[in-house]
């Protein structure tokens, strides 16, 4: 398995390491529930160095990326992030990703680990001069309502004015990084992209005073599930389009992208399954592959599900027939007919990710 620059640090925190898309990554340290709740209440630190990062320079490169994704890259303002998706020729989702406009002539693209090889090839073949920074870059996510305090205490004064889904270059102790106010947890948080060789020192500093704890893939999954965020390879993949994946609001219909004709036809017809958040009536969770029923008739299938520690019930995502995807629709899932309800994202509504902060 491949190792991130922080692999050696895991042994000092009793990490339980698993294979995640060929990477040796921690699934948990102290325990999934403890890590989940600590992130919701204080601050958790996540190693996300397995993800992909790409730098684009110049108008031609940005325009080329624009032709591959559903979002408008050309008019994205400097300092802003945009969630988008790379599509195949039939409109299927190769990867969902985040773009940051660093300057009028620069863009930074962050992608997932699972399809990284395919994404890297696609971008290299279609985007002139694109630079794959993945090997040289570490990514540390600092997430939770006290994440800003932690970073400010460590001298990250530049994060003070950063609003939700904004970011840029930050100089910290003479080290240039890219920092965005974003994340996969639903809480106030920051994603830090830095040279791989500097990652271990920053990781140690973040955990030094005991305010933050290290968190693994398990807590990352329960946190994102409570928010209704999709997981690439589980909830969205090349067999599904952005319309089916409930990404409608991220589609720039006035731009050109792969599979647009098919998506226009789907939008006109409206008869397609929709990725829909679920919650259960008790602590049991809907699981991947569970069939979903309404009135005794099969209406879809669960793609992912888990127990939501902050909600005290099961949460998940499922592709459902459109007439059964409305919030509040009573459903049953799995071989024992678990009682679940279609709902809307975010399922957990007390997250701090969008909170407005004073610039002090």
For the stretch 279-321, pLDDT in tens is: 999 999 999 999 999 999 999 999 999 999 999 999 999 999 9
Residue 299 placed within a domain: yes
- Same-domain status, 102 and 147: no
Residue 327 placed within a domain: yes
Nearest of 150, 212, 137 to residue 177 by alpha carbon: 137
Q: Tens digit of pLDDT for each residue in 330-339?
A: 999 999 999 9
Nearest of 347, 352, 355, 313 to residue 43 by alpha carbon: 352
pLDDT of residue 66 exceeding 80, the answer is: yes
Residue 304 placed within a domain: yes
Helices 217-227 and 32-41 meet at what angle, rounded to 10?
60
d(CA 88, CA 267): 18
d(CA 160, CA 313): 35
Q: So what's the pLDDT on residue 190?
A: 99
Cβ partners under 8 Å of residue 229, min gap 6: 184, 186, 345
The verdict on whether omega for the bond into residue 346 sits within 30 degrees of 0, i.e. cis, is yes
Across 75-79, average pLDDT: 99
d(CA 271, CA 104): 40
Across 8-18, average pLDDT: 92
**DSSP letter at 194?**
E
- The token pair at 200 is 């271990």
Q: So what's the pLDDT on residue 29?
A: 98
- Same-domain status, 142 and 6: yes
Q: So what's the pLDDT on residue 258?
A: 99
pLDDT of residue 359 exceeding 80, the answer is: no
Q: Tens digit of pLDDT for each residue in 201-223?
A: 999 999 999 999 999 999 999 99
- Same-domain status, 124 and 153: no
Strands 44-47 and 213-215 turn out to be parallel
Number of structural domains (the chain) is 3
Residue 342 has phi, psi (to 5 degrees) of: -70, 140
- Same-domain status, 45 and 110: no
- Same-domain status, 111 and 139: no
Q: Is the pTM value of this prediction over 0.85?
A: yes
Q: What is the CATH number of the domain that holds 117?
A: 3.30.70.1400
Quickly state the pLDDT bin for 348 (edges 50, 70, 90).
very high
Which residue, of 169, 204, 227, is where some domain finishes? 227
Quickly state the pLDDT bin for 11 (edges 50, 70, 90).
confident
Q: Are 306 and 296 in contact (CB under 8 A)?
A: no
CB neighbours of residue 13 within 10 Å:
15
d(CA 241, CA 47): 29
Q: So what's the pLDDT on residue 72?
A: 98
Q: So what's the pLDDT on residue 219?
A: 99
Q: Tens digit of pLDDT for each residue in 229-263?
A: 999 999 999 999 999 999 999 999 999 999 999 99
- The H-or-E segment that residue 149 falls in is helix 147-153
- Same-domain status, 309 and 328: yes
Residue 359 placed within a domain: no
Across 123-141, average pLDDT: 98
- Same-domain status, 73 and 126: yes
Which string of DSSP letters, residue by residue, matches 49-76? TTSEEEEEESHHHHHHHHTTBSS--TTP
Q: What is the CATH number of the domain that holds 329?
A: 2.40.30.110
Q: Identify the domain containing residue 105 by its residue range.
A: 53-132
Residue 197 placed within a domain: yes
Radius of gyration of the chain (CA): 20
d(CA 31, CA 11): 15
d(CA 42, CA 29): 16
pLDDT of residue 357 exceeding 90, the answer is: no
Residue 357 placed within a domain: no
Residue 267 placed within a domain: no
- Same-domain status, 219 and 182: yes
């Amino acid at each position: 398995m491949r190792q991130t620059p922080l692999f050696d640090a895991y042994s000092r925190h009793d990490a339980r390491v698993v294979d995640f898309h060929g990477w040796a990554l921690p699934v948990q340290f102290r325990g999934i529930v403890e890590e989940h709740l600590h992130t919701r209440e204080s601050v958790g630190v996540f190693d996300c160095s397995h993800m992909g990062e790409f730098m684009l320079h110049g108008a031609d490169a940005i325009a080329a990326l624009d032709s591959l994704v559903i979002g408008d890259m050309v008019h994205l303002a400097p300092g802003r992030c945009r969630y988008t998706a790379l599509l195949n020729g039939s409109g299927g989702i190769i990867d969902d990703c985040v773009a940051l406009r660093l300057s009028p002539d620069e863009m930074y693209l962050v992608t997932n680990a699972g399809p990284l090889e395919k994404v890297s090839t696609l971008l290299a073949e279609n985007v002139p001069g694109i630079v794959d920074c993945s090997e040289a870059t570490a990514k540390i996510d600092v997430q939770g309502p006290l994440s800003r305090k932690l970073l400010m205490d460590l001298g990250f004064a530049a994060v003070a004015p950063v609003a939700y889904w904004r970011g840029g270059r930050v100089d910290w102790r003479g080290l240039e990084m890219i920092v965005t106010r974003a994340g996969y947890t639903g809480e106030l948080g920051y994603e830090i992209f830095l040279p791989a060789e500097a990652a271990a020192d920053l990781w140690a500093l973040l955990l030094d005073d005991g305010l933050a704890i290290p968190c693994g893939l398990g807590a990352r999954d329960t946190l994102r599930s409570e928010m209704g965020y999709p997981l690439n390879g589980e909830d969205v993949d090349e067999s599904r389009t952005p319309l089916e994946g409930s990404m409608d609001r991220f589609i720039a219909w006035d731009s050109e992208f792969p599979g647009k004709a098919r998506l226009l036809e789907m939008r006109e017809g409206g008869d397609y399954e929709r990725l829909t958040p679920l919650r259960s009536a008790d602590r049991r969770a809907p699981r991947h592959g569970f069939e979903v029923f309404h009135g005794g008739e099969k209406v879809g299938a669960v793609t992912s599900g888990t127990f939501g520690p902050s909600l005290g019930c099961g949460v998940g995502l499922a592709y459902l027939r459109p007439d059964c995807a409305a919030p509040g629709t009573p459903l049953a899932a799995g071989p024992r007919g678990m009682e679940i309800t279609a709902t809307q994202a975010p399922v957990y509504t007390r997250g701090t990710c969008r909170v407005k902060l004073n610039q002090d």
